[in-house]
Amino acid sequence: MNLIAFYMTLSMVVFLLGLHGLLTLTDPLRRLIAVNLMSSGTFLAMVALARRTDPADPVLHALVVTGLVVAISATAFALRLVTASLQFFQTRSMPDASGNNKATNDHRTGDHKDS
């Protein structure tokens, strides 16, 4: 068992753990963490494969640097989607119509207050 096989296996484990989390967790924030774990597993496989040559493959390293930045962009956007959908469902689940109006009013006062 060499280094590459070891880390390829580790990448598989991390990826599958993330997949399990994504499928079973209910908290959207934890699901995001699970997706991030899956991407970490993928990156780990790529970097382990980059070790096949000496010196290590710079193309794979560059791709993973790109991937890291894309991953944080996607995470930030997904987080915003999560917060926006939470807001949506909280407003929608108000018991009566007056509550709904109130919510929109709060909305406005909040905006005014900040400006």
Partner 1 sequence: MTSSLLPDLVLSALLLVMAWGAMYAPARASAMSLFIAFGVVMALIWARLGAPDLALAEAAIGAGLTGTLLIQAASRAPSQQQTTLPMTSFVVALVFVAAASLWFLAYLMSAEGYSLIVEPDLASDYRMVPDLPQRVAETLPDSGVSYSVTAVLLNFRSWDTLLELMVLLLALIGVRQLAPTPTIYRTDRQALPTTPPAAPPTSADTWPLLRVWAKMLAPALLITGSYLLWRGAEAPGGAFQAGALLAAAAVMLRLAGLIPPLRWSRLWLRLAILAGGLSFFSVAVLTAVAGDGWLHYPQALAKSLILFIEIVATLSIAVTLGLLVIGEREDLRR
d(CA 50, CA 61): 7
Total number of residues that touch partner 1 (CB under 8 A):
83
Give the nearest distance from C-beta 62 to partner 1 in angstroms.
4
Q: How far apart are CA 13 and CA 98, in angstroms?
A: 51
Minimum Å gap between C-beta 99 and partner 1 is 6
- Among residues 87, 93, 96, 97, the one that binds partner 1 under rule CB under 8 A: 87
Tell me: does residue 102 bind partner 1 (CB under 8 A).
Answer: yes
In sequence order, what are the residues at sequence separation of 6 or more whose Cβ sits closer than 8 angstroms to the Cβ of residue 30? Answer: 21
Interface characters, 8-47, with partner 1 (x: CB under 8 A) = xxx-xxx-xxx-xx--xxxx-xx-xxx-xx--x--xx--x
CA gyration radius, the chain:
21
Q: Is the peptide bond before 55 cis (omega within 30 degrees of 0)?
A: yes
Residue placing its CB nearer to partner 1 in the complex, 43 or 92: 43
**Residue in 66, 92, 96, 97 binding partner 1, rule: CB under 8 A:** 66
Contacting residue, 54, 92, 93, 96, with partner 1 by CB under 8 A: 54
User: Given candidates 92, 93, 96, 111, which one binds partner 1 under the rule CB under 8 A?
Assistant: 111
At a CB cut-off of 8 Å and minimum separation 6, what does 48 contact? 3, 4, 7, 8, 11
